[in-house]
Amino acid sequence: MKIGFIGLGNMGAPMALNLLKAGHALNVFDLNAQAVETLKQAGARPAKTPKEASTDVEYVITMLPASAHVKTVLTGEEGILAGIAKHTPIIDSSTIDPASVKAFAELATQNGNTFVDAPVSGGTGGATAGTLTFMVGSTTHLYEQIKPVLSAMGKNIVHCGETSTGQVAKICNNLVLGITMAGVSEAMALGEKLGIDPQVLGKIINTSTGRCWSSDTYNPFPGVIDTAPSTRGYTGGFGTDLMLKDLGLATDAAKLARQPVYLGALAQQLYQTMSANGAGKLDFSAVIKLYRKDGDA
């Protein structure tokens, strides 16, 4: 396949490399010249604009920070819609709000194209290993069409429903994650204060009803899980600012839908406090620092 790939950051670069490894031909664009150069060395063709990257290709894939960036790349004078051939699908793997997806899909339709939301989970490790989960919002027909392309970058390619339901799945999952991490942090810090060995408490929770991914894989208390970011100074995981962004997407979507998200709104404030205190780049499990005496976040 000939594919235009735009957004070569922490996630996009390894995803694009996996497409190249699978034998696809890539036009690539990013504002960061170094990121483009790295992909060029790996065999991709550099483009000077999103328009150029989207010209004469069978698919366009975007992996950008937020909805404003997707809008610019899509609708700018040198944007995707200015260069893309009719009927070519645009697959956006950025995490953005469902309402923006619907607006972008409308613009794409007016241009004779389809816009698919296909956000991912699995982090940079999954992007490098090609084991990402893709949550796809599109017609069944288009899902079947794009599945082989996404399979070069991911292991689980899930059809969530019509346009924007991929983002719905993504933000609902991260809503649970943000809340459970705060809950496990609260319990681990209380246990420490009340005098139980955190290792023992961690083991009990992980074989009891409090067990969850935030406790048994990513436990926020240092030393409970050897491979968790907490055990390496809260580095190299899922950044607090990214969690804050995703909880913002969830609470904004909830506001539009007039649906309460009591715990999500509270969790958002916790991560907001961390970010305001300068801990935005730490892994989000550093939220436990808000509860511990020696915490500095």
The minimum distance between CB 244 and ligand NAD, in angstroms, equals 11
Considering the complex, state which of residue 55 and residue 95 has its C-beta at the smaller distance from ligand NAD.
Answer: 95
**64 within 8 A of 117, measured Cβ to Cβ:** no
The question of whether 170 is a catalytic residue gets the answer: yes
Catalytic residue among 170, 255, 281, 293: 170
Distance CA(156)–CA(60), nearest Å, equals 20
**29 within 8 A of 80, measured Cβ to Cβ:** no
Determine whether 169 is exposed, middle or buried from the number of CB atoms within 10 Å of its CB (0-12, 13-18, 19+). buried
Considering the complex, state which of residue 127 and residue 149 has its C-beta at the smaller distance from ligand NAD.
Answer: 127
Considering the complex, state which of residue 72 and residue 139 has its C-beta at the smaller distance from ligand NAD.
Answer: 72
Half-sphere exposure of 185 (CA within 13 A, CB side): 22
Half-sphere exposure of 82 (CA within 13 A, CB side): 14
Coil, helix or strand for 4? strand
The minimum distance between CB 15 and ligand NAD, in angstroms, equals 9
Considering the complex, state which of residue 122 and residue 191 has its C-beta at the smaller distance from ligand NAD.
Answer: 122
Coil, helix or strand for 48? coil
Locus of tokens 């989960």: 133
Strands 120-121 and 132-137: antiparallel
Nearest position to ligand NAD, beta carbon? 9
The minimum distance between CB 159 and ligand NAD, in angstroms, equals 19
Considering the complex, state which of residue 71 and residue 102 has its C-beta at the smaller distance from ligand NAD.
Answer: 71
Report the b/e string of 172-206 with b at 16+ CB within 10 A. Answer: ebbbbbbbbbbbbbbbbbebbeeeeebeebbeebb
Tokens of 4: 């235009």
Distance CA(268)–CA(195), nearest Å, equals 29
The minimum distance between CB 250 and ligand NAD, in angstroms, equals 13
CA separation (Å) from 148 to 27, 57, 59, 86, 144?
18, 16, 12, 21, 8
The minimum distance between CB 266 and ligand NAD, in angstroms, equals 21
Considering the complex, state which of residue 35 and residue 91 has its C-beta at the smaller distance from ligand NAD.
Answer: 35
The minimum distance between CB 203 and ligand NAD, in angstroms, equals 28
Footprint of ligand NAD (CB under 6 A): 6-12, 29-32, 35, 63-65, 69, 72-73, 94-95, 120-121, 123-124, 238, 242
Tokens of 233: 């100074």
Active-site positions?
A: 170
